[in-house]
Structure formats: structure tokens, C-alpha cells
Structure 1
Amino acid sequence: MADHQESEQEEGSIGPVTLWCLVAGGMVGGGIYTALGVVVALAGQWAGLSFLLAGLIALPSAYNYCRLTNRFEKSGGAFQFLEEMDHEGLAGSLSWILLLGYVLTIALYAFAFGHYLAFAFHGGSTLTRVLALGVTAALIALNLLGVGKMKSIEIVSVVGNLLVLLSLAAYGLAHFDQSALVSGIEPQPLWAALIGAASIFVSYEGFQLVTYEYDQLKKPGKNLTPMVVSGTIFVIVTYIAVALGATSLAGALTIIEKKQVALSLAAFKAWGQPGLVALTAAAGMATLAAINSTLFSSANLAARIASDGELPALFEKRNGSDVPWAGVIILGTLAGILSVTGSLSVLVETASLAFLFTFGVVNLIAHRVLETRRWVSVVGLSLGGLIGVFLFLRLLLSATFALAGFIVLCILIFVGRPYILKRVKTDG
């Protein structure tokens, strides 16, 4: 079977270089723009360590995602893994939570897009909301027309984004001022890095989007694991460098007080108005691409789930452009609403909780299914469980309403999902 699959995918459209760019872009696309101010507020001078710890959970999760995808030779990610183990009910419930995480992530990226562009044009909250809603609506429309996923444009966006971020990081590290990491704030204890890591875990969620395009990969058995793992390592290093460099330039207090546009202030500090223009362009391209790829992939994942009767059949229906229109409209609209009603910290932390849970399940599946290197799963489960507890307690104390809403939604998904599916049409 594996040989047959490999020969069929010899001419897939996604080669190793494109795959690597999609992995790196899927994570860096919006992650650092939204997470830096949040993590500095929580971890202070240990923000770089927080990105490292979160990355050490993402890395085994990415490795296991790839091994399981190659093992089952199908797209679908965690949903497909559970289906292959004959846990259809659990697969359905987990997929709903995963889609909720994607809605929160799209909202987070739209939030960042609105704030970075509005800041550059000296706009207020009204312009920010208009931009956030506008970009979401525009990408819903593009996806419905069937032109949402253009990999060449996405790769150009990734390269441009990385060039600006790495230049900013290099400049900041070349002029590194350690005192700026605690400028205007109280130094944080070492354990604060755990809280920071938990809160910004969503910054690493993008790698698994490529597993939903398994059927389009060239030689996935050969390319998927090394490209995803190396891409994840690169992103970890990039995040740490940007966290240290940007905070050194702007100062911790400024990063916290202006966390919605933290990197813009660092770029302005480094290079003045040209730096602000370059960073705004990079942020716009990156968040635009991240919204687009997440919306495209999540809508297609919803269609895949609906085809197995675990979502209403409406999500499976496609328009004349072969686009699952209901998923695009429903998921995109929910994200647009959240982007103008949620706070940055709540969006980041709630999305992080959703992905910590999902990746924990994937690591557990890998530990049960894969015969070798089970220690990788143990590392992912142990670190993920530890910072998951920290994040839960953090939300319990600082965002009780948001946490309660998330828990209620999860309970409704696990308990009420079968009842809902019985009441609605689940076959085409």
C-alpha cells in the first residue's frame, strides 16, 4: 500500500521547498505578531525561554503528526487518526474542538491585521474593527470564488515576512541591551516562563495544516517529517531571536502597553519611519496569508469531517468553484465577529488551550499506535500537560468568563454533538 501511495504522489504539486515554506509560514504567519506582548507581560525577561518551552511541546507533536499521517496515508490530521483507530465518536468531538481552535486563530490573525494597519495610518478603534472585519470578509469572498489557496503568493509572503522579522531580530541582538528586558517592569521569577509558554502555544499551531494536504505532497514518506520538523525548529529559533531582539529595542514596558502592535514599535525604534512601513507591510502580508490558509484548510477539514457524518451535511456541499461554501462562510463569519469583540490575551490563551488539548490527544495516539520512539510522545505529553495546568489556572484567575464559556462549549460538544447530529441531516 505504501509503495502504491508513493508512486501515485510522485508528481504531487507540493515539493519539499514549498512544503517547508508552508510549515514556517503557517506558524510565523501570525504567531509572533500577536504573541510577543502577551508573553512579555506574563514572563518578563523570560519571554525567550517561554517560546523555547512552547516549541519543545510543538516539536514532538509535529513529529508525531507526520509519522501518523504517513502511517495512515491519508489527510485529516487528528480526526483521521482517531477514525483509523475506530474511535469515530471521539474523532467527531475532537474535530469540533479543533475547528473551534481554528476559528479563534483566524480571529486572532484578523485582530492583528486590523491593529497593525490601523496603527500605521494613525487610526483608532473604529478603523481597527473595520480592517479586521474587512479582511475576513474579503478572504471569505476570495475562497468562495475558488482563488483562496495560491501557494506561489503564499510563499512570496512567507519569504518577505521572514526577511523583515529576521532583520529586526538581528538588529536588536546586535544592539542588545539586557536591562531593556525588564525596563519599566518587575523582573519575573523563572517559573513565569511556564505560564508564558502555555499562553502563547497557539503560535506553533500552523504546522499541522500541511497534513490536511497529504494528497498533494510529493513523496510524503520521504519529505513530510524532515520538512515539518526542520521548519518547526527554525520557527522556534526565529521566535526566540525576535522576542529578545524586539524587546531589547523597544523595552519591556512599551511591548506590554502596546502589545497589539509591539513589533511596529520595535521596528520604528530600529529604523524610524521606513522600519514602521516595512514591518507593517510584513505584518499585513503575514496575517493575510495566515487567515487565508487557516480558513481554506479548516473549511476543507470541515467538509472532510462532514463526509463521515460527524458534521451536518451542509459543510460538505461545494459550490461551482468546488469550494465547501458553508464552512468558509460559517467559520469565517464567526472568526470575524470574535476579532472585534475579543481581547488579545483572551483570544491567544483560549486558542492555546484548544491546541494544547488537541496536540495532547495526538501525542497519546502516537504513544499507543507507533511502535518506536515512544519517548517522543512522553515528552510531548509531559510538557504539554504541565503547561496546560498552568494555563488552566491562569485563565481561571484572570479570564474566568472566557474559560467557563470554553468549558461549556467543550461539554456541549462531547455530550450534545450526537444529539445535534441526530436532529440534522448528516448525509449528502
Structure 2
Amino acid sequence: MGETADSEDGRLGLFGAVSIAVGGMIGGGVFAVLGVVATIAGAASWLAFTLACLVSMCAAYSYLKLNAMGENRGGSVAQLEEYLDDATPAGMVGWTLLFGYVGAIAMYAYAFGSFAVALSPAGLKSAVPLGDALLRPAYSVLAVGVFVGLNVLGARATGTSEEVLVVVKVIVLLAFGLLGVWYGLNQNSIELGLAKIRQVTPIVMATAVSFVSFQGWQLLMYDQESIKNPEENLPRAIYSSIVVTILIDGLIAIVVTSLAAPEVIKAHPERALANAVEPIIGSIGFVIVSIAALFSTGSAINGTLFSAAHFAKGMIDDGLLPDETGRVEADGAPERTVLLLGGIAAVFTAYGSLDAITSFGSLAFMGVFGAMSALAFRERDHESINPIPPALGAVGCALFAVLLEVHLWRAERSTFWAVLGVAAVVVTLETLYFERESIVEGVDRAEAAVVPEEQ
């Protein structure tokens, strides 16, 4: 499939780049979001994942075309700065993206904690006050803390180890997926939800919720210098990773919704696959999937934290984040930045519900992907851009964002207010930082107008 990270110059080949992107997506799709999607769309969950992947493909097309046309190679912030020649919208999108990464880390940590609880001895669960209710957040926060420590120390999986981890995860998932299909066909229990396809609302809602799990490919935009022959391998890696993710998520979604009862999925949505395979090969299947989930979500926490910290470092260097958030002179990721991102993610994963975390992350990435698709559509006069994919990306993201809020308002009112509150805080912080000079000038004018009257 191409050269790997073992090439002479040490850069990632096509296979290594695909591995990084796939690893970031299947960890969230299968081990964190799948159960939440299944509770909404049921047997049609495979279609929800497919629609989200297709919209992500349109966003990826927009990113890649803008990247190839511009002078600055990079992701959302670099492209917005270049094409709009305005740091404010670029910075606000960058902040939104950072909070989206924090949400993704919290989501991976939530799933990690749940699987850790499932594998814990019964004696430990009974000995701990409140049992699972306390153990899950404790394991989740511990996982974030461990990977924060590793990133502070400068440790990160190499390209080769990442390839091995992803290959193992893909093999395990495909094996259980095919085994589940075989078992389901023998039991005459495979359900594709074809009758439910006519029920547009739950499928669209589930598509919106699943969006957070398809941000892994975007990490490659910030690692272009580490990819061998990026002009050729970057597009191939991104498109290939999205296709692989569609196939895996779709297969696993069919197996889970066919073999696991809805009440079982709803009880522990993050463990949906483990619960689905247990009837086939017994408790050993549950254990294998749970161990694979720990590795998958753990590596996703590590990789996302690493990339987010380096992304933030570039924003600090460009004046788009306060200098207090990290030192740009630091080798690798700034310690203060890693600690800040990890600390916020730890709070999210400890106190947030899985629904709230996934919904917030999905909204953040839909906002960013939609903005980039709109930017590519704005540049549609360029001969290399077909306006259809960017238009579909922009409209799809906007539509899904609105419908996700509608779904939360109708079905999960407390989650709606939690997500809205966090979003309001993020927008307020962005506005205060990027409009601080205008705000100060306005305050000064108001004071100058008031003081003479008082005198």
C-alpha cells in the first residue's frame, strides 16, 4: 500500500498516514459513538454513519483543494488566514477546533473508563463507594492524566507502532464483524433497517451525533511535513481512510443492532460491540473487544492530545491564543498547553454524559467543516474546484447542526442546555479575546462620555 514510516528519511508513507487517520476515526466510531447512534437510528445506524462519512468526504475535498491551491500548507486556520486575509475568523475557527479536540479526548476517555470498569474485578467494584458511578470517571480522568504525562515527557507512538496498533484493531473489528454477520445469518437475525430508512428524522439525527467520530483524517493536515510525497500521498491517505472507516463502521453497526437488544445498547452504549459479540463466543469475546477498546481509545487520546497541543502551539505563535497558554520556544508540545487541554478534557469526561460530550464534539466539528466547505465554495471559480462537494459539505454541516439541536431539545433537554451552555462559553471567550481591542476602545469612549457629565 505504500512506504511506511521506516523509509530512509523517517517520514510516513501512505500506509502510515492512512493508519493515523483510521486509528483516530474507528476508535470514536466503534467504541464511543456507535451505541449512542444505535439508540436513535436502530438498525439503520449503518446508514447514519455512511451519511456522516460522505459529508466528511466533501469537507475533506474542500480542505485538500484549498491546501493544494494556497501557498501555506496546513489546516483550517492557515487556510482561512490566507484566503480571507483576516486573523479573527481564522482564530475563532481555531478555538472552536481546539474545543472540538477537547470533546473528542473526553469522549475517548469516557469509553476508556467504561471498558476499564467492565474489566475490573467484582471485588473492586463492590469495595468502591457508588461502584461504577465513581469508577468510570476515575478511570477516565486517570487515562487522560497518563497520556498528559506521556506528552509532557515527549513520548508518542512512532509511525510504525501506530501502524501495528491500527492493523490489530482493524483485524479484530473485521473478525468480529464477519463472525457476527455469519452468526446473524444462521440465526436469521441480521437486520438492515430498510423499513426504517423511510423515517428520515431519526437517521438524520443519528448522522449528526456521529459526526464527532470522523475528525481523525483532519489530523493529517497538520502533519504534512511528516508525510513522504504529501502532494500525492495526503489526498490518497485521507480519502482511503474515510472509505475504510465507512466499511468498518457500517459492518459493526449492522452486527451490533442485529445481535444486541436495544435495552442492552442503551444501558451502556459505549460497550455496544462487546455486548453484541458475547452471545456468540461467550465472555472471552467481551474481554477481547474490551481490551481492544482500551488500546484503541488510549491511542486515540494520545494522538489527539499530541496533535491538538501542536496545533495550539502554532496558534500561539500566530498570536491567536494568549501567550500564557504555552511557550512556542518549547521543543515539541508546550507543557502548559498539554496540561490545559488535558485538564479541560478531564473535567468534561468526569462530569459530562456521553450524549453531551459527543453532541458538543459533533457540533464543533460540523461548524469547522462547514466553514471550510463554505470557503472552498467561495473559491469555486478556480478551475481545480468542483463546486458540488463544497456545497454539499457546507449545507450538510449546517443542516445536521440545526437538526442535532432540535433532537436534543426534544429528546434530551438537559443535554441540550449543557451543550448550549458550553457553546455559549466558548463563543463568549472567543469574542472577548479577538474583539478585546474594540471592547477596550468602546469602554474608553463610554468612560470619556460619562466623566464630563459627572464633573
Identity in percent: 30
Q: Is the 8 A contact 1:44 1:187 kept in 2?
A: no
Counterparts of 1:272 and 1:421 in 2: how far apart (Å)? 63
Q: Secondary structure at the match of 1:142?
A: helix
Gaps of at least 5 residues in structure 2 are 1-6, 126-131, 440-455
Counterparts of 1:240 and 1:74 in 2: how far apart (Å)? 36
The residue that corresponds to 1:79 in the other structure is 77
Q: Is the 8 A contact 1:268 1:276 kept in 2?
A: yes
Task: Confirm whether residue 142 of structure 1 aligns to residue 150 of structure 2.
Answer: yes
Aligned residues: 414
Counterparts of 2:336 and 2:437 in 1: how far apart (Å)? 16
Q: Secondary structure at the match of 2:223?
A: helix
Counterparts of 1:319 and 1:137 in 2: how far apart (Å)? 24
The residue that corresponds to 2:355 in the other structure is 345
Of 340, 349, 373, 2:386 maps to 373
Task: Confirm whether residue 261 of structure 1 aligns to residue 256 of structure 2.
Answer: no
Shifted more, 69-78 versus 284-293: the winner is 69-78
Counterparts of 1:182 and 1:78 in 2: how far apart (Å)? 37
The residue that corresponds to 1:28 in the other structure is 26
Counterparts of 2:269 and 2:161 in 1: how far apart (Å)? 28
Q: Is the 8 A contact 2:316 2:328 kept in 1?
A: no
Q: Secondary structure at the match of 1:382?
A: helix
**Quick one: which amino acid aligns to residue 354 of structure 1?**
A
Q: Let me know the Cα RMSD of the aligned residues.
A: 2.5
Q: Secondary structure at the match of 1:14?
A: coil
**Quick one: which amino acid aligns to residue 113 of structure 1?**
F
Task: Confirm whether residue 390 of structure 1 aligns to residue 403 of structure 2.
Answer: yes
Shift of 1:118: 0.9
The residue that corresponds to 2:135 in the other structure is 127
Shift of 1:388: 1.9
The residue that corresponds to 1:57 in the other structure is 55
Q: Secondary structure at the match of 2:282?
A: helix
Q: Secondary structure at the match of 1:373?
A: coil
Query: CA 1:313 to 1:20, structure 2 compared with 1: closer, same or farther past 3 Å?
Result: same
Q: Is the 8 A contact 1:114 1:128 kept in 2?
A: yes
Counterparts of 1:10 and 1:89 in 2: how far apart (Å)? 41
The residue that corresponds to 1:292 in the other structure is 302
**Quick one: which amino acid aligns to residue 99 of structure 1?**
L
The residue that corresponds to 1:5 in the other structure is none
Shifted more, 87-96 versus 383-392: the winner is 383-392
Gaps of at least 5 residues in structure 1 are 1-8, 424-428
Task: Confirm whether residue 333 of structure 1 aligns to residue 343 of structure 2.
Answer: yes
The residue that corresponds to 2:90 in the other structure is 91
Counterparts of 2:375 and 2:288 in 1: how far apart (Å)? 43
Q: Is the 8 A contact 1:66 1:228 kept in 2?
A: no
Q: Is the 8 A contact 1:113 1:131 kept in 2?
A: yes
Shifted more, 312-321 versus 144-153: the winner is 312-321
Shift of 1:247: 2.1
The residue that corresponds to 2:369 in the other structure is 359
Query: CA 1:368 to 1:12, structure 2 compared with 1: closer, same or farther past 3 Å?
Result: farther
Counterparts of 2:361 and 2:348 in 1: how far apart (Å)? 12
Tell me the TM-score normalized by structure 2.
0.85
Q: Is the 8 A contact 1:74 1:215 kept in 2?
A: no
Q: Is the 8 A contact 1:367 1:377 kept in 2?
A: yes
Shift of 1:338: 1.0
CA deviation profile, 1:250-290 (whole Å, cap 9, x unmatched): 23332122213112211222221221221112101110110
Q: Is the 8 A contact 2:180 2:255 kept in 1?
A: yes
**Quick one: which amino acid aligns to residue 95 of structure 1?**
G
Q: Is the 8 A contact 2:107 2:349 kept in 1?
A: yes
Q: Is the 8 A contact 1:139 1:148 kept in 2?
A: no
Shifted more, 310-319 versus 281-290: the winner is 310-319
Shifted more, 294-303 versus 314-323: the winner is 314-323
Shift of 1:19: 0.6
The residue that corresponds to 1:169 in the other structure is 177
Shift of 1:142: 0.6
Q: Is the 8 A contact 1:173 1:245 kept in 2?
A: yes
Q: Secondary structure at the match of 1:29?
A: helix
Counterparts of 1:255 and 1:307 in 2: how far apart (Å)? 45
Counterparts of 1:76 and 1:82 in 2: how far apart (Å)? 10
The residue that corresponds to 1:38 in the other structure is 36
Question: Where does structure 1 differ by over 4 angstroms across 4 or more consecutive aligned residues?
Answer: 9-12, 177-183, 318-321, 419-423
Counterparts of 1:323 and 1:415 in 2: how far apart (Å)? 26
Counterparts of 2:309 and 2:168 in 1: how far apart (Å)? 27
* 1:146-295 correspondence runs (5 A): 146-176=154-184, 189-295=199-305
Q: Is the 8 A contact 2:180 2:277 kept in 1?
A: no
**Quick one: which amino acid aligns to residue 407 of structure 2?**
R
Q: Is the 8 A contact 1:182 1:251 kept in 2?
A: no
**Quick one: which amino acid aligns to residue 383 of structure 1?**
G
Shift of 1:375: 1.0
Q: Is the 8 A contact 1:97 1:413 kept in 2?
A: no
Counterparts of 1:276 and 1:358 in 2: how far apart (Å)? 36
Of 301, 313, 319, 1:309 maps to 319
Counterparts of 2:111 and 2:438 in 1: how far apart (Å)? 39
Query: CA 1:188 to 1:271, structure 2 compared with 1: closer, same or farther past 3 Å?
Result: farther
Shift of 1:144: 0.7
**Quick one: which amino acid aligns to residue 25 of structure 2?**
M
Query: CA 1:45 to 1:239, structure 2 compared with 1: closer, same or farther past 3 Å?
Result: same
